[in-house]
Amino acid sequence: MQIGELSERAGVSHRTIHYYERIGLVKPAEREGAGYRYYDEIALKRLEKIAALKKLGLSLDDISAVIDLYFEDATGIKGKEKVLEILQTQLAKADAQLAELSAFKTDLEASIARMNHLIGKARKD
């Protein structure tokens, strides 16, 4: 299929497909003498997998690290294990950020209470 059909079937733009080609996520099956790219069902499946992985919150770098695993291993287990590892790392980072935000919130609340106390004291004097 040509890029127009692939674009329509995958629900992504031509530009996205070209970008994914440049970064190695998708490859045309063949090129015609005039330079036209032709894609096969594997390219469509890769675009579908990229979309699914993006919905999980993976970056394109993360997707680059796992997508081939899905197509090398028919069970998909290797890809899923790698995705699980990435998601667990993201969760650990999110937990650390939440802890930092919680500490920041506590500091803000203390500063607000201190300022309210100082303002109240100044009004009494």
> In this prediction, what percent of the chain has a pLDDT beyond 90?
86
pLDDT for the residue numbered 30:
77
Domain holding 22, by residue range, is 3-124
Q: Among 13-17, 34-38, 65-69, 108-112, whose mean pLDDT is lowest?
A: 34-38
* DSSP state string for 12-69: --HHHHHHHHHTTS---SEE-TTS-EE--HHHHHHHHHHHHHHHTT--HHHHHHHHHH
pLDDT for the residue numbered 33:
64
- pLDDT for residue 63 is more than 70: yes
- Please report, for the domain that includes residue 50, its CATH number: 1.10.1660.10
| Count of alpha carbons within 13 angstroms of residue 18, beta-carbon side | 5
Model pLDDT for residues 89-101, shown as the tens digit of each residue? 999 999 999 999 9
Question: Count of domains in the chain?
Answer: 1
For residues 20 and 47, what is the distance between their CA atoms, to the nearest angstrom?
9
Residues contacting 87, CB < 8 A, separation 6+: 56, 57
> In this prediction, what percent of the chain has a pLDDT beyond 70?
98
**DSSP 3-state of 74:** coil
- pLDDT for residue 114 is more than 70: yes
Question: 112 has which bridge partners?
Answer: none
Question: pTM (2 decimals)?
Answer: 0.77
Model pLDDT for residues 21-59, shown as the tens digit of each residue? 999 999 888 776 677 888 999 999 999 999 999 999 999
Q: Do residues 47 and 26 make contact, with C-beta atoms less than 8 angstroms apart?
A: yes
